[in-house]
A and B are shown apart, each in its own frame.
Chain A
Amino acid sequence: MKLDSSRSLLIRLFILAVVVLVAPMTLISLRAMGEFEQGMNPEMDKKAAAIGRDVAAQVDRAVGYGIPVDKLVGVEEFFAPVLTANPEIRYLAITDKIGRVLFLRGAEKDELEPHYQAADLEMSSAEGIKASIGTYLDLALPVAPRGNLIAHVHVGFDQGYVVSKLHDILYDVLVVMAASLIIAFEILLFVVFFNVTGPLKLVGEVVERARHGDLSHVPGGASGDEVGRFVRAVAASIRNVDDLYRQLMAYIDEVRTAHFDKGVVEKVGDVEARISFQFRFSNTGKPLVLHQRRATDIRLPLFLFVFAEELSRAFMPLYVREVGQSLFGLSPEMIMALPIAVFMACIALASPFSSRLIDRLGARRVFLIGLVPAIAGYVMTGAAVGVIDLVLWRAITGLGYALVTMACQSYILGANHHSNRSQGMGVFVGAVLTASICGTAMGGVLAERVGFRATFFVSAVLVLLAGIVISHMLDSAAPPAAVAPQPRRNTMRLFTNWRFSVLMLFAAVPSKMALTGFLFFLVPVILTQGDWQVAEIARMVVLYPLVMVVVLPLAARLAEYPGWRIALVALGGLIGGGGLLTSLFLPSELSMMIAIAALGLSHGLSASPQLAMIPDLCWTECRNMGQTNVLAFVRLVERIGSTVGPLLAAAFIPVWGVDGAVVALGGVVLAMAVLFAGASLAYGTGPHIEAEEDLA
């Protein structure tokens, strides 16, 4: 195990976490399922008995009027509504004394009759006799007017019904377990980086300097554990050497000033020069304390923050519908889409302002400032009384979201040298995606149990927790991120670069339109129409980040080859648009699943290459405006797509219905993707940068 590498330690700890979490959860879940099944069976029996008794009473009455059992008319028609109203009951039957089926609805005669004839039902009590027949549980109740057994009523229920009902519980358990494992991983990552790898990397840095004779720094930030003790021991040894050095220097100074013999002064000077040649000490009077920013410092708070936002992902439009249905004559669909669009618009508008604020105040402060509107936004969204205030609170949440995420990005950029910035951004994307997976899934489970409003309050608590973590972790005295101030130019001029414009308008914008318009807005609306529960909708929505997690690293690797980038972006667009059109050919739920997976695949394929293309397409703009400004502008333009998406989808619904809206949105996205694919063929021709001369 390498001491200053988190990988091996993390793997061991994660295996431990998996064992410690999965084994007891599996054990207790299986036990609980068994108990739940046993708990449900008596109720199933009681219900079957209630139905059987009623049927037996009807037969008894008919026989009382003198009609022989086998001559009863319309019995199967009488069974039909009972079976329809009670889906757990699979069949109803009446047999004669020797088990011959007289009337049956819901099953095949051949399946049941041999069992009835073989069974000894003569002695059946008034409570009935239960028997297992294939996949059915059969309850036989006697029809015995005046104590004379003439027939049996059979009520058959599905043995798998209880199990199918328990499946929902199992899905919830699996969701919670998967989310817990991800959270466990994030927390262990934090514990290992913060307590082991981080301090040891710092020691490694100091040791590396000291090996070359540089004793000017000591590692900072020692905790109370073994690693902290070790860090203090290393620091103490360097301070010890530093003290000896300073005593020597003081002595040399004393000899120099007090001595009259020039030869001695010269020799003492030689000693000083020799020591100074061999070793380097701090010239501030004591060793400097070395601190280091790491991208991973910010990962846990970022994870918690995004997790909080994702909790409402699967039900936001449904919540809006619950809060209010009328606003300035807008259609109900437009009202449902509005808070999502406003949230995205606020992020877009607040992002440039956030960048400037970070330059002035530093990432930590802006993160903490951003938590205020975020917490207020979640609390007030949960307490919203109408659509207008809900939109306002979502706007405020969007402001907080922009401040916090920009602060995180800035911190990560400041913590990583230019060469490993992509690695740093990998930390950002990793935290966002994992938070997206478990936040969305947990949000569905949570909302189904505690309701939409309470889920927003949980989001507020999580954001507060993120604030507590960040305020404890990042040193308040730490200077703002060491990001070089970027020259500011009119970024709108980027649109004079046609390649950039085409990439933005026909690839980036439609991709975000599909994300917010389809996934964030249409999916919950459509699935809820199909009587899907929120937890089920959430499980469906989670497909998107899950597919992305798988595809993204592969696409990122391919994006390292410039030749692949345009192809991946074009292919991603076509897959995303094409996926949305599957509802033309397939049933709604299946097409939904395919469309979501296709969207995940599309974004997984195109996200990294799209970003990687920017410096290639806009190299003069990046030089003149600064790459950070150009990338911030890219984000801004993308957010326009995010804002337009839900509004466009909502506008389509009154015209074509919800399924039609998916197709229409897919049509728009696909058409733009085709245009991009066509235009991308010309990327390699003509003058490379048209705007170059203007800007230079």
Chain B
Amino acid sequence: MSWSLARKVSVALFAILLATMLTTAVFGYYKFEDVLSSLVRSRYSFVVFTIKQKVEDSLNLGFSLRQIRQVQDVIELEKARDDQIHGIDVYDHNGEVLFDTDRGVMGSRVPARWLEPLASPSGTAGATQPFSFIDEDAMVVGLPLVNSLGKVEGAVVLRYPEAYLERELGNLLGRLALEFLTVLSAFALAGTLAAYVLLRVVGRRLGAMETTLAKVLAVGGEAVPNPNADEFELRFAEFCDKSREAVEQITEASAEVERLDRLA
């Protein structure tokens, strides 16, 4: 398949435009998702932090974690305030769920992974730091519960759907994708048209030179360059004349040789 110059340039421009817009869109979106997810995480971390404070106040009064019954009301109230929260769990350092917004799971054990953040040597910062991870289809943010002696008694964790952001951003993405396609198509078309206009001049001038060459060789006469011709076109006109001259000279010579041959 033969491709014109304009087509080559348009395809190159379109490929660059598409790659640039896709790269930017993908990077930009994921960066935005990072920022937003960290914001969501920090909001839920704050909720967890307030629960932690309430539980630790009671722990500091000398109650054991299992005895602080009002924790169940606190976590249920927080869940009721935000329908995006899957659940809030409070478990002890052995992994037994003591309080849960889903009362049915109370008494069960949390996955071993949930205990890992509590496993740092007591007294080190690691055991009291907030933690977050993905568990199946849920994002988990949590904080260890520490008594006044610095002993880790357990943890409080909050689960919210991993797909939360996707749900939140679905419409936004849809709108942006449509605009993206519209802008891409419009500018690809504009670029193609502009490339054709820009390179038509080259094609036209080359075509004119080609026609001149063919005409001069076939019909004879002098190549007359365009009034605005550049140096290349002027030299090409001379080339046309020289080619014609060569053809004429050789034709004349052939005729002369033929005449000499016949004379004899």
Contact = CB atoms under 8 A, between A and B. Distances in A.
Given A13-B198, A40-B35, A28 B180 contact: yes
Interface string A256-276: 000111001001100100110
A537 interface: no
Interface stretch (B42-50, B90-98, B104-112, B118-126): B42-50
A290 interface: no
Nearest to A246: B250
B260 A187 contact: no
A54 interface: yes
B202 A244 contact: no
Contact of A449 (B27, B169, B175, B231): B27
Contact of B242 (A32, A51, A210): A210
Interface of A is mostly: helix
Contacts, number: 251
A196 B168 CA distance: 51
A275 B9 contact: no
Nearest to A35: B172
Nearest to B194: A16
B258 A251 contact: yes
A68 interface: no
Contacts of A188: 9, 12
Given A47-B46, A168-B35, A211-B238, A227 B206 contact: yes
Given A29-B28, A233-B214, A86 B183 contact: no
A563 interface: no
A567 interface: no
B68 interface: no
B60 interface: no
- Between B36, B184, B206, B261, the greatest number of chain A beta carbons within 10 A of the residue's beta carbon is seen for B206
A228 B249 CA distance: 29
A247 interface: yes
A31 B206 contact: no
A23 interface: yes
A318 interface: no
A36 interface: yes
Contacts of B5: 195-196, 225-227
B40 A238 contact: no
B70 interface: no
B23 interface: yes
Interface string B14-27: 00110111011111
B235 interface: yes
B253 interface: yes
B261 A259 contact: yes
Contact of A237 (B26, B194, B213, B256): B213
Contact of B47 (A38, A50, A252): A50
Contacts of A113: none
Q: How big is the A interface, by class?
A: 35 or more
Interface stretch (A130-138, A171-179, A404-412, A520-528): A171-179
- Between A20, A50, A177, A224, the greatest number of chain B beta carbons within 10 A of the residue's beta carbon is seen for A20
Contact of B257 (A4, A16, A252): A252
B8 interface: yes
Given A16-B198, A43-B40, A264 B235 contact: no
Contacts of A425: none
Interface in B164-212: 168-169, 172, 175-176, 179-180, 183-184, 186-188, 190-191, 194-195, 198, 201-203, 205-207, 209-210
A177 B19 CA distance: 10
A433 B263 CA distance: 74
Q: How big is the B interface, by class?
A: 35 or more
B256 to A, nearest CB: 6
Contacts of B4: 225-226
Contacts of A187: 12, 16
Interface of B is mostly: helix
A245 B243 CA distance: 12
B43 A54 contact: no
Given A20-B191, A43-B43, A180-B20, A248 B254 contact: yes
Contacts of A172: 24, 27-28, 31
Contacts of B207: 226, 230
A24 B187 contact: yes
Contacts of A31: 176, 179
Nearest to A233: B210
Nearest to A39: B172
Contacts of A23: 187
A248 B210 contact: no
A88 B41 CA distance: 13
A7 interface: no
A519 interface: no
B133 interface: no
A196 B12 CA distance: 15
Contact of A248 (B176, B201, B239, B250): B250
Contacts of B239: 207, 210-211, 234
A275 B36 CA distance: 83
Given A20-B194, A226-B202, A241-B243, A28 B179 contact: yes
Contacts of A44: 39
B162 interface: no
A284 interface: no
- Between B235, B242, B263, the greatest number of chain A beta carbons within 10 A of the residue's beta carbon is seen for B242
A21 B239 CA distance: 41
A177 B24 CA distance: 8
B146 interface: no
A518 to B, nearest CB: 29
A322 interface: no
B16 A183 contact: yes
B222 interface: no
Interface string A602-643: 000000000000000000000000000000000000000000
Contacts of B21: 24-25, 28
A43 B190 contact: no
A279 B249 contact: yes
A27 B219 CA distance: 56
A46 interface: yes
B16 A21 contact: yes
A211 B179 contact: no
Contact of A211 (B24, B235, B264): B235
B63 interface: no
A2 interface: yes
B76 interface: no
A168 B263 contact: no
B198 to A, nearest CB: 6
Contacts of A173: 24, 27-28
Nearest to B2: A224
Going nearest first, the 8 A-B pairs with the smallest beta carbon separation are A224-B2, A180-B20, A20-B191, A47-B43, A226-B203, A207-B239, A24-B187, A230-B206
5 contacts: A166-B32, A176-B23, A227-B206, A244-B247, A264-B264
Interface of B: 1-5, 8-9, 12-13, 16-17, 19-21, 23-28, 30-32, 35-36, 39-40, 42-43, 46-47, 49-50, 81-82, 168-169, 172, 175-176, 179-180, 183-184, 186-188, 190-191, 194-195, 198, 201-203, 205-207, 209-210, 213-214, 217, 230-233, 235-236, 238-239, 242-243, 246-247, 249-251, 253-254, 256-258, 260-261, 263-264
Given A50-B47, A244-B254, A275-B253, 9 more contacts: A12-B198, A23-B187, A168-B35, A184-B16, A210-B243, A240-B247, A248-B257, A268-B261, A278-B249
